[in-house]
Amino acid sequence: MSRHPEVKWAQRTDKVFITVLLPDSKNAKVNLEPEGVFNFSATAGTDNNTYELKLDLFDKVNVEESKINIGVRSIFCILEKAEKVWWKKLLRGDGKAPHYVKVDWDKWVDEDEDKGLGDLDLGGMDFSNFGGMGGMGDMMGGMGGMGDMMGGMGGMDEFEDSDDEGQEVTKPDDKAEGDAKPEEHGIGSSEKKEAEPST
């Protein structure tokens, strides 16, 4: 029996954003039809559980202009609407959306505040087109841009070289040299102590 992954969605006048939350998914397949049918299947988890999803979207979409990005934790799709109109909801029909379909409040804007993609941070994701992917069998091409994710973290070179290399480290209970009395370190005494002969 297959399971349903969690799905989040948001929209703009010309686009619908669908995020399928499925960490470490394998063999992810997405099929988008112009009539607005969105199919998803993948395996995930230690038991390789099968996850499937079919969404009958509210209206038609432009498959050729729609894009997809498969990441480590989720599959993110930007679907181009066939008509640039605000949808009342994600799915067609009169019923309530399934429990696994939720609004993506991180990407959501109200219709009167819609400024296109200008207000959405896509985090440098590399997207592949749905149209040119031939059945969506090999979707790993959309994972580019991961190589330099660690490049911007910085701050690690401060641990490589230490300025106090070669300097003597004092213990907390040792007195600093300036606080020491002259006789403790032999300073101010002209006589040298010789080692006593051992018997």
pLDDT digits (tens, 9 = 90+) for 126-163: 656 655 444 433 433 343 443 443 344 444 444 444 45
Residue 34 near residue 44, CB atoms below 8 Å? no
Q: Which tokens in the block code for residue 7? A: 């799905």
**pLDDT of residue 99 exceeding 80:** yes
Strand order in the sheet with 37-44: 26-33, 37-44, 49-56
Binned at pLDDT 50, 70 and 90, residue 111 comes out as confident
Backbone angles phi, psi at 176, to 5 degrees: -65, 155
Q: Which of 27-31, 43-47, 131-135, 143-147 has the lowest mean pLDDT?
A: 143-147
- Per-domain boundaries in the chain: 1-85
pLDDT value, residue 151: 43
pLDDT value, residue 113: 81
pLDDT value, residue 159: 44
Tell me whether strands 37-44 and 26-33 are parallel, antiparallel or unpaired.
Answer: antiparallel
Residue 77 near residue 18, CB atoms below 8 Å? yes
Residue 136 near residue 31, CB atoms below 8 Å? yes
Q: Which amino acid is at 145?
A: G
- Regarding the domain delimited by 1-85, which CATH topology (the fold level of the hierarchy) does it fall under? Immunoglobulin-like (2.60.40)
**Model pTM above 0.75:** no
Average pLDDT of span 98-117: 87
Distance separating alpha carbons of residues 5 and 41, to the nearest angstrom: 9
